[in-house]
Structure 1
Amino acid sequence: MAERFAGSVFGATGDDDLPSMGEIGLNSFAPYLMNRVMARWNTNITEELKDLDMTTAKMRALAVLSVSASMTINELSVFAVTEQSTMSRTVESLEDQGYIRRQPRPDDMRVRDVSITDKGRAAFDKVWPTMYRMLVQMFDGVDEDEYRAFLGTLQKILRNIRKHDM
Structure 2
Amino acid sequence: MNEHIISSENDEGPRLGEIGLQQFAPYLMNRIMGRYNASLREDLAKLGLTTPKMRTLAVLSVVDGLLVGRLAVYAVVEQSTLSRALDALEADGMVRRTPDQEDSRAIRVSITEAGRAAFESLWPTMRQSYNRMFAGIDAAEHAAFVATLQKVLNNIKKHDF
Fold shared by both chains (TM-score > 0.5): yes
Q: What is aligned with 1:51?
A: 46
Report the Cα offset of residue 123 of structure 1. 1.1
Question: Is residue 134 of structure 1 aligned with residue 134 of structure 2?
Answer: no
- Whether 2:104 is the aligned partner of 1:113: answer no
Q: 1:127 to 1:5 in 2, by over 3 A?
A: same
- TM superposition shift of 1:77: 1.0
Q: Does 1:84 align with 2:79?
A: yes
Whole-angstrom distance in 2 between the partners of 1:12 and 1:54: 41
Give the whole-Å Cα distance in 2 for the aligned partners of 1:141 and 1:10. Answer: 28
3-state SS of the aligned residue for 1:115?
A: strand
1:69 aligns with 2:73: no
Q: What does the per-residue CA deviation read over 1:121-147, in whole Å, with 9 as the maximum and x for residues that have no partner?
A: 111110111100110011111111111
Q: Which one scores higher on RCO, CA 8 angstroms, separation ≥ 6?
A: 2
Q: Is the 8 A contact 1:103 1:112 kept in 2?
A: yes
What displacement does 1:109 show? 1.4
Structure-1 separation of matches of 2:41 and 2:2: 37
2:33 corresponds to which of 24, 32, 38: 38
What is the one-letter code of the residue matched to 1:15?
A: D
- Paired-residue identity, %: 50
- Superposed CA offset, 1:15-73 (max 9, x none): 36x22323322111111111111111122222332233321111110000001131122
Task: Specify the alignment match of 1:6 in structure 2.
Answer: 3
Which AA in structure 1 matches 2:18?
A: E
Larger Rg belongs to: 1
Structure 2, unaligned stretches of length 5 or more? none
The alpha carbon displacement at 1:107 in A equals 1.8
State whether residues 77 and 87 of structure 1, in contact with CA within 8 Å, keep that contact through their aligned partners in structure 2: yes
Q: Secondary structure at the match of 2:104?
A: strand
> 2:142 is matched with which residue?
147
Give distance in 2, aligned partners of 1:11 and 1:119. 48
SS of residue in 1 equivalent to 2:66: coil
1:15 aligned partner: 11
Residue 102 in 1 paired to residue 89 in 2? no
SS at match of 1:140: coil
Q: CA deviation at 1:12?
A: 7.6
| Matched residue SS, 1:163 | coil
Counting matched residue pairs gives: 161
Q: State the distance in 2 between where 1:116 and 1:53 align.
A: 16
Structure 1: runs of 5 or more not aligned: none
